[in-house]
């Protein structure tokens, strides 16, 4: 079995104790960190989601797979994130109200940070009020980023975008993303940008402030 297959299997099986060393071994064998992330981890979470949808697994299995992925990403992070000395400004990010999913949001935060922004991660289930408070409290906010993974939390994203725009606060761009979000939806709710994945979110953030 290849290292990538072993990592995928450990994520799917929620093998939190061995995932860190498997990722380290793969890195030591010069496996591309992006391949570990995309093929070993993100793809596997898609498989986990499909199994959940079919009723082959339930929330606890989905949860331990998510925990294993988080652990794996922790080990991978230093190899994915670049180093920049100059700050491009602050990015406020969070998963919208009612949404507890944070793996994708954490990856977006990590990529935006490595692109040169100071990232304030508000976590999950973030209310509009908390987003607005954070924008007011931080200096040089250039990007406000909303993540949603559930069709049922898309209205919360819409409400947050509308409230931030109506708040009179200025000087930043709003970006949105997450599995059910599309470019059309982003436009429809008045966001300044949409991206389908973490890497392109960082590119978009830089482009929007240029």
Q: How far is CA 159 from the centre of its chain?
A: 20
Residues 53-92, one symbol each (x = binds ligand B1M by CB under 6 A, - = not), give x-----x--xx--x--------------------------
Interface residue with ligand B1M among 11, 23, 42, 88 (CB under 6 A) is: 42
**101 touches ligand B1M (CB under 6 A):** yes
Q: How many CB atoms lie within 10 A of CB 34?
A: 12
* DSSP per-residue string spanning 24-72: HHHHHTT--HHHIIIIIIIHHHHHHHHHHHHTSS-HHHHHHHHHHHHHH
**Residue 47 vs 166, nearer CB to ligand B1M:** 47
**108 touches ligand B1M (CB under 6 A):** yes
Tell me the β-bridge partners of 121.
93
Q: What are the tokens at 88?
A: 């491009």
Residues 161-180 that bind ligand B1M (CB under 6 A): 175-180
Helix-strand-coil split of the chain, %, nearest 5: 60, 10, 30
**Residue 25 vs 197, nearer CB to ligand B1M:** 197
**97 touches ligand B1M (CB under 6 A):** no
Q: What are the tokens at 113?
A: 């940070």
**Residue 46 vs 171, nearer CB to ligand B1M:** 46
**Residue 27 vs 52, nearer CB to ligand B1M:** 52
Interface residue with ligand B1M among 98, 114, 159, 208 (CB under 6 A) is: 98
CB of 113 to ligand B1M, least distance (A): 13
Closest of 150, 196, 199, 206 to residue 176, by C-alpha: 196
Interface residue with ligand B1M among 34, 100, 166, 187 (CB under 6 A) is: 100
CB of 78 to ligand B1M, least distance (A): 18
Q: What are the tokens at 71?
A: 């652990």
- Torsion region of 117: left, alpha or beta (phi above 0 gives left; psi -120 to 50 gives alpha): beta
Binding site for ligand B1M (CB under 6 A): 42, 45-46, 48-49, 52-53, 59, 62-63, 66, 98-105, 107-108, 145-147, 149-152, 175-180, 195, 197-198, 201
């Amino acid at each position: 079995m290849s290292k990538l297959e072993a990592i995928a299997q450990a994520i799917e099986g929620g093998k939190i104790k061995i995932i860190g060393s498997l990722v380290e071994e793969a890195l030591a064998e010069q496996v591309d960190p992006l391949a570990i992330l995309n093929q070993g981890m993100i793809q596997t979470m898609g498989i986990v989601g499909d199994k959940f949808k079919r009723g082959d697994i339930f929330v606890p299995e989905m949860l331990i797979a998510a925990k294993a992925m988080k652990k794996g990403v922790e080990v991978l992070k230093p190899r994915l994130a670049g180093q920049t000395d100059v700050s491009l400004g602050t990015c406020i990010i969070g998963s919208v109200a009612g949404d507890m999913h944070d793996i994708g949001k954490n990856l977006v935060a990590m990529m935006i940070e490595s692109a040169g922004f100071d990232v304030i991660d508000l976590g999950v289930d973030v209310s509009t009020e908390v987003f607005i408070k954070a924008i007011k409290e931080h200096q040089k906010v250039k990007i406000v980023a909303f993540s949603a993974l559930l069709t049922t939390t898309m209205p919360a994203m819409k409400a947050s975008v509308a409230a931030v725009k109506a708040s009179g606060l200025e000087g930043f761009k709003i970006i949105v993303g997450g599995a059910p979000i599309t470019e059309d939806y982003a436009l429809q709710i008045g966001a300044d940008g949409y991206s389908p994945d973490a890497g392109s979110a960082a590119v978009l953030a830089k482009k929007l402030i240029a």
